[in-house]
A and B are shown apart, each in its own frame.
Chain A
């Protein structure tokens, strides 16, 4: 984990951003996570995660057009960077390696 440091919640957020592709901004990310994982996500927790991911270089963001419904505030759309993709790959491959290394007997519950 020394190469790409990423927390569990951060990983979920990062994956969700990828899932949403071009429509990933605050609210949609929050809703997507809430729907898929059936857990509550506060704006604050999600924001901090997004900010941290961006700081680490896993995400990049840009402002969209202003819309009336948001009191004239622009949306900030997030996109997974190449570096972010690599981090996700890394996480997945390490997990996979671990899975592969599990001897079959380990999961033989009687």
Chain B
């Protein structure tokens, strides 16, 4: 019989399928029939017999033959029994349970935290009732580049309102600006936006007091956030109808409405809101098609098609301007603006979505790792469970029942873990919020949250239970009872694969951490081309107008103050540009956007920039008023062989180039350095930079005193350039910190798994160790013996992880125009860390096993 079966076997899969679905009182003779037929047929043709066998099995898959489904519903008592056994196991093997739970809880808690963050990010601006779009402006440059900006010419609002039947409402919103409010003698700066009346008809902001319909109707109306209203007027209700003086306008504004503070779901944040008409009435430059103004949003009418709008809006600027300039408008759904705000060649390509992808990846990593660890330990312990399985089988348990038992166990553990993880998440959330600068919360009443939690529980429970549940019941009864299940080859290979997998993920995360950290380090310490340390700056109020020299002279008397300069903005984050610069040889059709900065004679010395050729401005020299200094990029762009003494015209000032300054960074390191023209017009500056040396406290005291003398009615506020610079990379720093923490957790989970596995193998080989010791092996020899296998696995993991990590690291770094080169030492270090931690974990348990007196292990049976 054995021979016959060897020779001609019926298709295994079909047979398995039959056994799976066929009801138990039919299976024996049905299978017998099929085998008999198969035998008979295969004496004619094996292939034919096989085909017919499969066909027969498929035809048998019909009601009457398929197992009775009610079989499952009657197993409630069995289920109860599973639950009891599972609980017994959990309490019996406390060490094992702890390791298992610890890994699962930590993995789950981290994933839930990350997913909460991801959810918040993805949800940004998705809760507005209407379909809202934002307008972007693509500026086609002569050199083939496309610059994209959100500053849109204001006249477009009229056009959209009057000529586009598809559009419902249009709103203009300014960038967030800080203005000074006065309430009696009290003054303070608050940040907010100018917005047009339809703002509240497009966006869902919760108005909690005052005029809920059109609070921005009057030009001098003012909408406040709840927190600002409370700060000024005590409570929300009494704020309505009160007035606040806004300094810039020298005008009182009436509070018409108060909105809920935590509109965290919108990327548009403000403490105050003033009608944009008020701003426009003071700034008529904005009413021109040639100037970029504020941001424009619009909502569509129900059923309207955005593609119709897109087709028409593209050429609106070109239609209304006479210049050669090519500027096209595009729209983007507000649901995407938060995540995809970086444009390349006029198309949104990336943005915060990058970090969402990275962190979601990490969340999945951690979950999978926790599952793997669970599976691994369960498999390793299968020999211990084998006897139990054997006894159960002898007593008549079917395979399904035993599978069920293991699933119940893993689901129970997962369930407990999710519960514990939720407790941890709620404890950690405040700190996590602090880290990520968000107001995340996990509401368990939200069906979406509940559903995803249930989903996670199911997936993790299933994944971690699947292997033992499928493998263990297949062991033969006699083998199980004899305890002969000494890890089959397949079993061991699988276990090793999983360990490799787990460590590969951990190593990838470590490498990722190192790369991100080194890039952040690079950003913060990069030589920007100017000395950003010890440089204090602030926006000058109108009180300083004409008094700049006096202010500087007063300050320079103090020994702590080295230099003072006035500029038209922060040189490290600069964005004032023009396309109207002209020079000899420039074709009037050429469209080139060039930054223009206004400074005084002290700029170069105070900032610590270096001249490449020529000179800077000289104080008091009248002729220097019509001279320019350009940076290297501009020199290259303009294209003179010798730029010095060449003629240049910017904003109606005709002058000559007297120097070329070495490039310094004016934008984030994501972008290349842009061309820059520096002009010497101190009367048009608005920002003061003061370089401090020595006693900081004394310097601050003197600066404040001097400033108050000139501008007594304004609060003295200042920033440090290096701090502000670091602040502009806060996203990268936050993400870097998060990756670091989660990499650490990944290592922790891997080590837990390794610890469990090594204690298992030490356990299994206790007799062998005893015999070896009796024969003269020393402790360290045995530690080596037990650890070397795992060392190999970690090395394989390293080899696998490195190229993948390299690929992703490179891709991330290439987002930056300026980035560190990937240092191969990073890989080496990550590998070493994983190896050392892993080796240490294994050795602890191995050492323990190796130092036991052999008598103890050998005498017990």
Contacts and interface: CB of A to CB of B under 8 A. Distances in A.
Contacts of B61: 44
Contacts of B60: 43-44, 47
Interface in B30-71: 30-37, 39, 55-56, 59-65
B789 to A, nearest CB: 41
Contact of B33 (A27, A68, A72): A27
Contacts of A43: 30, 33-34, 37, 56, 59-60
B860 interface: no
B32 A74 contact: yes
B65 A51 contact: yes
- Sort chain B's interface into a size bin: 20 to 34
A73 interface: yes
A94 to B, nearest CB: 27
Interface string A48-71: 100110000000000100001111
Contacts of A70: 32-33, 35-36
Given A26-B29, A76-B28, A71 B5 contact: yes
B1 interface: yes
A70 B34 CA distance: 8
Contacts of A26: 29-30, 32-33, 36
B665 to A, nearest CB: 77
Contacts, number: 70
A69 B40 CA distance: 9
B contact patch SS: helix
A74 to B, nearest CB: 6
Contact of A48 (B29, B39, B55, B62): B62
Contacts of B5: 71
Contacts of B785: none
Contacts of A42: 55-56, 59
A44 B36 contact: no
A28 to B, nearest CB: 10
A73 B29 contact: yes
B29 A75 contact: yes
Contact of B64 (A27, A48, A72, A75): A48
B391 interface: no
Nearest to B31: A73
Given A42-B56, A71-B5, A47 B30 contact: yes
B31 to A, nearest CB: 5
A74 B26 CA distance: 11
Contacts of A45: 59
Contacts of B37: 27, 43
B236 to A, nearest CB: 75
Interface in A18-34: 25-27, 30
A103 B7 CA distance: 63
Given A47-B30, A74-B32, A69 B62 contact: no
A69 B38 CA distance: 10
B29 A76 contact: yes
A74 B28 contact: yes
Nearest to B53: A43
A75 to B, nearest CB: 6
B1 to A, nearest CB: 5
Contacts of B59: 42-45
Interface centre among B32, B35, B60 (most CB of A within 10 A): B32
A27 B29 CA distance: 10
Given A73-B28, A75-B29, A51 B64 contact: yes
Given A44-B56, A51-B26, A73-B28, A27 B36 contact: yes
A63 B29 CA distance: 8
A38 B28 CA distance: 28
A19 B55 CA distance: 28
Nearest to A52: B64
B160 to A, nearest CB: 68
A70 to B, nearest CB: 4
Nearest to A44: B59
B237 to A, nearest CB: 77
A90 B29 CA distance: 31
A42 B30 CA distance: 12
B274 to A, nearest CB: 79
Contacts of A73: 28-29, 31-32, 35
A71 B39 CA distance: 10
Contacts of B39: 69
B66 to A, nearest CB: 10
B1 A68 contact: yes
Contacts of B65: 44, 47-48, 51
Interface string B761-783: 00000000000000000000000
A66 to B, nearest CB: 9
B65 to A, nearest CB: 6
Contacts of B1: 68, 71-72
A71 B30 contact: no
A45 B65 CA distance: 10
Nearest to B33: A26
A65 to B, nearest CB: 12
B26 A47 contact: yes
A63 B65 CA distance: 18
B67 to A, nearest CB: 13
Contacts of A52: 64
A44 B62 contact: yes
A68 B28 CA distance: 14
Nearest to B39: A69
Contacts of A69: 35-36, 39
Contacts of B35: 69-71, 73
B193 to A, nearest CB: 73
Given A26-B32, A47-B26, A51-B65, 5 more contacts: A27-B33, A43-B37, A43-B59, A69-B39, A70-B32
9 contacts: A26-B33, A27-B37, A43-B30, A43-B34, A44-B59, A47-B64, A69-B39, A73-B35, A76-B29
Interface of A: 25-27, 30, 42-45, 47-48, 51-52, 63, 68-76
Q: Which 3 A-B pairs have the closest CB atoms?
A: A73-B32, A44-B59, A26-B33
